[in-house]
Structure 1
Amino acid sequence: MVTVGQIMTRHIVQLDAGTSAIDAAKLMKAHKIGSVLVKRDDDIVGIVTEPDIVRKVVGTDRVPYFIPVEDIMSSPVVGIDEQRPITEAADLMEQHGTRHLAVFRRGRIVGILSVRDLLHPVSIDEF
């Protein structure tokens, strides 16, 4: 069985609440990722994804310099334990209509799992 922890992205990129949508997009571009976690103080309060920026900013003709990420983020962040099978992660994404999950270990976020991660080639014997 392939677990979430085996294929997740361990590099977590965060930004502060109040950051503009344009800065979030620039951060995603710089790190070549499709999502960033939003934090307030030391707490993760949401996640902003590429589709959030496209649909909630660009697609509505809003000016991204003046839109704080908390206006477009998804909250709370949907997550899964790193020891769970990837099939459960895919089901959870489907249930919540999301392409990204926070990955938890003992209640702490230790990675991000995206639908792209689920597409990585895996041996059929491991399922």
Structure 2
Amino acid sequence: MKTVAQLLKLKSQQHHEVHTIGPGQMVLEALKLMAEKNVGALPVVEGGQVVGIVSERDYARKMVLKGRSSVGTPVSAIMSAPVITVDPHQNVEFCMNMMTNSHLRHLPVVENGELLGLLSIGDLVKEAIAEQANLILQLEQYIRGE
């Protein structure tokens, strides 16, 4: 099974860059950035440290349903914190279990306090499917004696 570090290297350059936002920025800015970059979540970074994560789900549940204004509400008011992170040495299976058990869709990758990347559940599912397809191919070749 691949490690998180290997998976981050495989991500295309477009999806490798991690877009972040500060806790004092307004929710509207976060929404604009998510729409512009076509991402579903942004790590919230303050002083170089990941202090939370804000997602479309946070917006729907903590803003829209409560009738709040995205113009005057800071990201810190709706972000999920403390944020669950993973280090680059963990494997895909560990991350999938963590995300499933904690009901997460996005998982920041942090090493020594530095944000290295952001994995989505889609990234992990894609890799798991690829690994299973490779295993099936190997088993078929073994059965055929190749």
TM-score range, shorter chain: 0.7 to 0.9
Give structure 2 stretches of 5+ with no counterpart: 9-14, 136-146
Q: Map residues 98-117 of structure 1 onto 2, 5 A cutoff.
A: 98-117=104-123
- AA aligned to 1:123 is E
For residues 43 and 3 of structure 1, what CA distance do their matches in structure 2 show? 23
Cα shift at 1:20: 1.1
Alpha-carbon RMSD:
2.0
Over the matched positions of the two proteins, sequence identity in percent amounts to 32
Give structure 1 stretches of 5+ with no counterpart: none
Matched, 1:5 2:17: no
Cα shift at 1:106: 4.3
Contact 2:40 2:55 in 1 (8 A): yes
Q: State the TM-score, normalized to the length of structure 2.
A: 0.77
| Count of residues in Structure 1 that have an aligned counterpart in Structure 2 | 127
- AA aligned to 2:90 is R
Contact 2:54 2:80 in 1 (8 A): yes
Cα shift at 1:78: 0.8
Deviations 1:21-64 (A, max 9, x none): 11101101111111111122332211101111111111222111
Matched, 1:46 2:45: no
- Which has the larger share of helix? 2
Higher-Rg structure is 2
